[in-house]
Amino acid sequence: MTVTDRLTRATRGLPAPLAVVDLDMFDANAAGLLRRAGGTPVRVAAKSVRVRSLVERALGAGFAGVMAYSLDEALWLVGTGVRDVLLGYPTVDTGALARLAADPEARREITLMVDDVAQLALVQAALAGPGGGPEVAVCLDVDSSLRLGVLHLGTRRSPLRAPEQVAALAARVAGTDGLRLRGLMFYEAQVAGLPDTPAVRVVKALSVPDVDRRRRRILAAVRTAVRQDVELVNAGGTGSLETSAAGAGVTEVTSGSGLFVPGTFDGMRSVTQRPAAFFGLDVVRTPGPGWATAFGGGYVASGPAGPSRLPRLVTPGWSLTRREATGEVQTPLRRRREGRPLQVGDRVWFRHAKAGELMERFAAVLLVRGDEVVDTVPTYRGEGRTFG
């Protein structure tokens, strides 16, 4: 039985569009990510899941801590019982910072991310109010892109790059009342998040030793500036677990997309997991021989506009059309020579190009084992939570 037949059988009688996570694949993927990390703790990236019960499932499978993308999200997760939440990005949300400052439990469990004194000033202002509590942990985001002359290969994230820059901000944090320097993050996006084309393989081969050398120098500079080692050194993502986990000084790595394995990972040789997240649409008309039209489907991923951001059609023998691709309300499909004819009422299956973004389109996700739905759980959106 093909995966599409199995999912169709499991969801027969349920209205589409619908989102599905295959628990057998999810659990196998979680185990595979932990194996790839080789014993280095793996933090689950919540933005790549956006289903609280599945974040908790990953933690139960052996993941250590959560990386949140919003301070509001981090506060909510801690309020539901999640522990050790590292904010993956800086925040300028003064309301959320005030709530953090007023909540002793949140102060204990959330680590803020900063890379600029302007962000730090907002944190200081929030902590200057009445009350008090445990020191708030801070992590510094360090630029880990590869630079070759004028070329910048990687994401545009942190302004912190040189050891002296990182050490200066580390000393500033360590010398601020109410704060403690917990660690550093080195996210090498050009290694962790790109498919393995020949050009990208060259970039990765150059990036890994470059980041490793710079990490050593930066850790040494911070150690001198604050006169102690940092407890947390976060690195990597799903595509770089092996090399990041083996990096000098690294105490943990992060992964989330590898639990679902979205379409953008198809060309990534290091990713050994199998797809676990799908969405299903129903055929609502057949406008001509070799054509079928499904309802919904315009779930295009973030990033540079182009075919790589479109959902991947899983149903064999059919393809998207160049003119319309996936539509806001309808998605036309073209039959290839080997395709089985589709009729009104048939179900077709897709994978999103990215991971957690799919769950922003649905209030609930169906959890499947084999050819049976075993549970239905809310997404962030289904719990009334959206964080941007």
Give the pLDDT band (50/70/90) at residue 150. low
Q: 299 and 248, same structural domain?
A: no
Supply 199's token pair. Answer: 């050009």
Output the pLDDT for position 270.
72
Confidence check: pLDDT of 282 > 90: yes
Q: 315 and 208, same structural domain?
A: no
Output the pLDDT for position 367.
98
Q: 176 and 322, same structural domain?
A: no
Q: 95 and 240, same structural domain?
A: yes
Domain-embedded: residue 193: yes
The CATH number covering residue 330 comes to 2.40.37.20
Q: 375 and 228, same structural domain?
A: no
Mean pLDDT, rounded, for 113-136? 91
Output the pLDDT for position 271.
79
Bridge partners of 113, per DSSP, are: 139
Give the pLDDT band (50/70/90) at residue 170. very high
Confidence check: pLDDT of 192 > 60: no
Give the pLDDT band (50/70/90) at residue 131. low
Domain-embedded: residue 28: yes
Q: What percent of the chain lies above the pLDDT cut of 90?
A: 78
Packing angle of the helix pair 94-102, 117-127 (nearest 10 deg): 50
Confidence check: pLDDT of 144 > 90: no
- Name the domain count of the chain: 2
Confidence check: pLDDT of 190 > 80: no
Give the pLDDT band (50/70/90) at residue 145. confident
CA dihedral 38, 207, 144, 217 (to 10 degrees): 80
Domain end point (choices 192, 226, 259): 259
Q: 228 and 103, same structural domain?
A: yes
Domain-embedded: residue 270: no
Q: What percent of the chain lies above the pLDDT cut of 70?
A: 93
Q: Which of 27, 32, 54 is nearest to 378 (CA)?
A: 54
What's the CA gap between 88 and 91, in Å, rounded?
Answer: 10
Output the pLDDT for position 360.
97
Domain end point (choices 200, 232, 259): 259
Output the pLDDT for position 388.
86
Domain-embedded: residue 388: no
Domain-embedded: residue 16: no
Output the pLDDT for position 134.
92
Output the pLDDT for position 239.
83
Pairing of strands 347-351, 277-285: antiparallel
Q: 313 and 175, same structural domain?
A: no
Confidence check: pLDDT of 104 > 90: yes
Q: 297 and 194, same structural domain?
A: no
Mean pLDDT, rounded, for 341-369? 97
Output the pLDDT for position 132.
76
pLDDT tens digit string along 212-258? 899 999 999 999 999 999 999 999 888 888 989 999 899 999 999 99
Q: 252 and 284, same structural domain?
A: no
Output the pLDDT for position 154.
67
The CATH number covering residue 195 comes to 3.20.20.10
Round the average pLDDT of the chain to a whole number and report it: 92
**Structural domain range at position 230:** 23-259
Domain end point (choices 259, 287, 313): 259
Output the pLDDT for position 339.
85
Do the beta carbons of residue 74 and residue 68 sit within 8 Å? yes
Output the pLDDT for position 155.
72
Confidence check: pLDDT of 36 > 70: yes
Q: Which of 66, 17, 29, 95 is nearest to 284 (CA)?
A: 17
pLDDT tens digit string along 321-345? 999 999 999 999 999 988 899 999 9
Supply 168's token pair. Answer: 């200066």
Q: 80 and 158, same structural domain?
A: yes
Do the beta carbons of residue 24 and residue 386 sit within 8 Å? no
pLDDT tens digit string along 46-77? 999 999 999 999 999 999 999 999 999 999 99
Output the pLDDT for position 5.
94
Give the pLDDT band (50/70/90) at residue 191. low
**Distance from the Cα of residue 17 to its chain's centroid:** 23
Spell out the SS3 assignment of the chain.
CCHHHHHHHHCCCCCCCEEEEEHHHHHHHHHHHHHHCCCCCEEEEHHHCCCHHHHHHHHHCCCCCEEECCHHHHHHHHHCCCCCEEECCCCCCHHHHHHHHHCHHHHHHEEEEECCHHHHHHHHHHHCCCCCCCCEEEEEEECCCEEECCEEECCCCCCCCCHHHHHHHHHHHHCCCCEEEEEEEECCHHHHCCCCCHHHHHHHHHHHHHHHHHHHHHHHHHHHHHCCCCCEEEECCHHHHHHHHCCCCCCEEEECHHHHCCHHHCCCCCCCCCCCEEEEEEEEECCCCCEEEEECECCCCCCCCCHHHCCEECCCCEEECCCCCCECCEEEEEECCCCCCCCCCCEEEEECCCCHHHHHHCCEEEEEECCEEEEEEECCHHHCCCCC
Domain-embedded: residue 142: yes
Output the pLDDT for position 243.
87
Domain-embedded: residue 229: yes
Q: 251 and 305, same structural domain?
A: no
Output the pLDDT for position 116.
96
Q: 60 and 167, same structural domain?
A: yes
Output the pLDDT for position 62.
98
Mean pLDDT, rounded, for 286-292? 95
Domain-embedded: residue 339: yes
